[in-house]
Structure 1
C-alpha cells in the first residue's frame, strides 16, 4: 500500500507541475483554458472556477490542459438550427441554448441563418416563422452554450491558442517540460540542505559505529594523505583501495589538527553482487556551505540531464535495447525499491523521474511537446503555419505509435518482474 501511495503522489506531482507550466503560460498569453486535468479515465473530482474545469481522474498516468482552439471546438451552430437565446440587461446574448429550452421561458427562439462565435460574435436568424425580418443578435464575450446541464464558454478568436504570436504559443508548450526541470532543481536543492552535498575530496566523512574505520580510530574530518604509501587525491581513491583489499591491514596516513598520524585499518569482507569487496564503514565527506547548497540543485539537474541525453544517444549508435526503457510497471517497481530505501532516496528518484519526463517530452516526436515545438520551428522558417488538419494527422499517428511502444514496454516490464523464466 505504501508503494501505491508513493507512486500516486510522485507521478501525480510530476504531471501536476508539467501541466501547471502549460496552464500558467497559457493564462499569461490570454488563452482560454477549458480543462486542467490530472490523470485519465473517469472523473474522481471536478470543480469549475474562473473559466476552467479542474478535474482529477482515476488513472494517475498523465494529464492534460485543454486550451480553446488547440483542439477543434466541439459545438458548431449551422444554418437551420433552432435555438434559444437568453439576453442580459445590455441586450447581449449570454446563453445560447441548444438543448433544454424549456428551462428558459423568457428566451428568444430563433432559426439560425448564420453564426459567427469567433470573430464578429453575432448570430443572425428569424425569430418568427411568419416574420421574414432577419435579426442580428450580438454575443457577450462570456456567453455560454447550453446543452442540457452542460455549459461551454464561447472562445472569441483572440482567446484561442492559434491566435497568439508564435513565441507565446511556443513558450506555452515549452513551459510543461521546463517545470519538470525546475521541480528537479527544487528537489535536489532540498536534498542538499537536508543531507549536505557529497564531495569527492580525500576527507573521512561520517563513520558508521560498527565500521572498521571507527574501531581503528579514524575520525570524521581526517585528511587522508596516503594508504600503504599510495598517494590519495580524492575520495574515489580511498574507495578503490579499500574495496580491493578485504581482510588486509591498510595503513592510513592522515592529517589531523596539523599532525600526521598512521592508523592501521582492516576492511571487512562483504559479498555484493557475487563480488568480494572490502568495507570500512566510512561515508563520503559532505560540504554544507551555502554557496554549494544553493547551486547543488542546478548542478545535479544538469549532470543528470547530460547522462540521460547520452543514454538516449545510444539510439543513434545502435547500442539501445528495449530493456533500457521502463513503462508504468517498471517505474512502479523502482518506486517500490526507492520507498523501501527511505524518503531521501525516494525524493532523488522523483527528481530523476521529473528530469526524464522533461527530456522525453522535448523529443521531436509527434504528439509530444517536442513534436509541437518542431512544427513551430517549421512555421518560423516558412513564415506561415502548417495546415492544422495535416499537423493533427501527424500528431495522431505519432500518438498511436507511442501507444504501441507503451504496450510493448509494459509487456516487457511484466515479463521482467512477474514472469519466472
Structure 2
C-alpha cells in the first residue's frame, strides 16, 4: 500500500487540485474493483469476509450485510477486502468460512479474481470509450502533447494548439500534416497555429528520426486522434483487443526492463500521476484510455510471483500442490513480510527515478 501522505504530495506536486482529484479517483477506482474481485469470488466459495472497505482512515459510512461490514472511509486511496483465515495463524478449529480451510482450487480462484477483475474492468472501459466517445480513426491537427525538449517545445507549441498551415499552405487533415512534416527531415517549416483563439506564426526545424527504416522529419508532438462512434459489438471487440495488446506491451516492456537493467521502462507514482494529470487536460478519451491501461498494469503487477502480491500467494499454492501440503503460515507470512520490505525499497527507487526524470524534463504520454 502506498502511504497516503505521499500520494497527496505527488498529486499536488504534478498540477493542482483537479489533477489530484482525477489521479485519486482513477487509482482508487482501479484498486477498489480489484478488491471487489476478491470479494465476489470469496462469497461464491463460502469464505467469510469480515470487512470490505473503500478508502482508508476514519469511517464516513458503514453497513453490515451478510456478515460483512461494508464501509466508505475518509481517504479515497483504494480499499481492502479482509477474509477470515487469509493472514492470521490457523486456530485448528474447523470453520467452513475460513479461507485457509478451503480447497486449493477455491483459494486460487479467490486470489486470482483480483487481477482478473482488473482485466475485465479494462475491457469495459475500452468498450465504453468506443461506444460513448468513439474509436480512433486517424489524427486531427490539434496538439495533444508536446514532448519535452523537442523542436515543437522549443518553438513554443503547446497542448490544444491547432496547426492550420504549413509553409503557407492550409492543412486539410491530420494525415496531410504528418505526411508534410515527415517528408522534410532537417528542414525549417513555417507553421501557422491557432492558439487560444488567436493566430500565431512559428518556425520549427524538424528533427530527423528513423521510421520503418526511413529517415523522416518530426516536430516532437502527439496529435489528438479523430474519433468515430462504434457499435456495441465493435466497441466490445476493441476493448478486448486493447486489453490483449496492453498485456503484451507491458510483459515485453517488463522483460526488456529486467533483461537490460533499464529503469526508464518503469514508472512509479510520480510518473503515473504525471500521465493521469496530462490526460485530464486532454479530455475524457485520454483519461479513460489511461485508466484502462493502468487497470491492465495493476492486474499484471499483482500476478507477478513476488511475495506480498497476489502472484506470490499463487506461487505458494503451486508449492502446496507439488508438496501435497501447505507451507506453514508462519514461514509464508515471513516471506510475504520480507517481500513487502523489498517492494517498499523498489517503490522508493522507482519514485526517485520518476522524480529525476521529472526534474530533467523527460517522460510523458
Q: Structure 2 length normalisation: TM-score?
A: 0.71
Equivalent residue for 1:258? none
Deviations 1:320-377 (A, max 9, x none): 21x3332223222222111111121111111111111000000000110001111111
1:296 Cα offset (Å) = 0.6
Aligned-pair CA distance for 1:219:
8.6
Instruction: Find the counterpart in structure 2 of residue 166 from structure 1.
Output: 104
Q: Which residue does the alignment assign to 1:179?
A: 117
Q: Which residue of structure 2 lines up, in the alignment, with residue 31 of structure 1?
A: 47
- The Cα RMSD (Å) is 3.5
Q: Of 13, 22, 31, which aligns to 2:38? A: 22
In the superposition, relative to structure 1, how do residues 54 and 284 fare at CA in structure 2: closer, same or farther (>3 Å)? closer
Distance apart, 1:218 and its partner CA: 6.4
Residue 293 (structure 1) aligns with:
235
CA distance 1:404–1:41, change in 2 (3 Å): farther
| Contact map agreement 2:59 2:71 (CA 8 A) in 1 | yes
Indicate the residue corresponding to 2:293 in structure 1. Answer: 352
User: How many Å apart are 1:310 and its aligned residue?
Assistant: 0.5
Distance 2:289 2:24 in 1: 16
| Contact 2:276–2:290 (8 Å) recurs in 1 | yes
Instruction: Classify 1:270/1:192 alpha carbon distance in 2 versus 1 (closer, same or farther; 3 Å).
Output: farther
Residue 96 of structure 2 aligns to a residue whose secondary structure is helix
SS in 2 for 1:37: strand
Q: How far apart in 2 are the matches of 1:412 and 1:274?
A: 27
Match of 1:393 among 310, 330, 334: 334
Cα distance, 1:396–1:218 mapped onto 2, change above 3 Å: closer
Question: Do the aligned partners of 1:26 and 1:33 also contact (CA within 8 Å) in 2?
Answer: yes
Is this contact kept in 1: 2:126–2:238, CA < 8 A? Answer: yes
Separation in 1, partners of 2:283, 2:205: 20
Give the equivalent residue in structure 1 for 2:325: 384
| TM-aligned CA distance change 1:178 to 1:217, over 3 Å | closer
Change in Cα spacing, 1:198 to 1:417, as seen in structure 2 (3 Å) is: closer
Q: Comparing both structures, which one devotes a greater share of its residues to helix?
A: 2
8 Å CA contact retained: 1:38, 1:62: yes
For the pair shown, which has the larger CA radius of gyration, 1 or 2? Answer: 1
Q: 2:196 is matched with which residue?
A: none
- Which of the numbers 177, 181, 202 marks the counterpart of 1:243? 181
Deviation at 1:58, TM superposition (A): 4.6
Counterpart CA distance in 2 for 1:352 and 1:272 is 33
Match of 1:252 in 2: none
- The runs of 5 or more residues in structure 2 that have no matched partner are 1-16, 143-161, 190-200, 209-216
CA contact (8 A) 2:89 2:330 kept: no
CA separation of 1:290 and 1:218: change in aligned 2, threshold 3 A: farther
| C-alpha distance in 2 between matches for 1:328 and 1:207 | 31
Could you say if the C-alpha distance between residues 59 and 271 of structure 1 is closer, same or farther in structure 2, counting changes exceeding 3 Å? farther
**TM-score for the superposition, normalised by structure 1:** 0.62
How far did 1:50 drift? 2.6
Matched, 1:411 2:352: yes
User: Partner of 1:63: helix, strand, or coil?
Assistant: strand
**Residues 31, 291 of structure 1: CA spacing in aligned structure 2 closer, same or farther, 3 A cutoff?**
closer
| 3-state SS, counterpart of residue 417 of structure 1 | helix
Instruction: Note if contact 1:69-1:161 (Cα within 8 Å) is conserved in structure 2.
Output: yes
Contact 1:269 1:277 in 2 (8 A): no
CA contact (8 A) 2:137 2:227 kept: yes
Determine the C-alpha separation between the residues in 1 that align with 2:227 and 2:59: 49
Q: Give 1:387 shift.
A: 1.5
Partner of 2:244: 302
Q: Distance in 1 between matches of 2:345 and 2:128?
A: 37
**Relative to structure 1, is the Cα distance of residues 43 and 407 closer, same or farther in structure 2, using a 3 angstrom cutoff?**
farther
Matches within 5 A, 1:19-418: 19-72=35-88, 118-119=93-94, 157-198=95-136, 211=164, 241-245=179-183, 271=204, 277=218, 288=230, 291-321=233-263, 323-417=264-358
Structure 2 partner of 1:145? none
Q: Structure 1 243/173 Cα, relative in aligned 2: closer, same or farther at 3 Å?
A: same
Task: Report if aligned partners of 2:207, 2:218 keep a CA contact under 8 Å in 1.
Answer: no
Instruction: Give the secondary structure class of the aligned counterpart of 2:51.
Output: strand
Report how far residue 378 of structure 1 moved. Answer: 1.6
Higher normalized contact order (CA 8 Å, seq sep 6+, divided by chain length): 2
Paired position in structure 1 for 2:159? none
SS of residue paired to 2:319: helix
Distance in 1 separating the partners of 2:266 and 2:140: 36
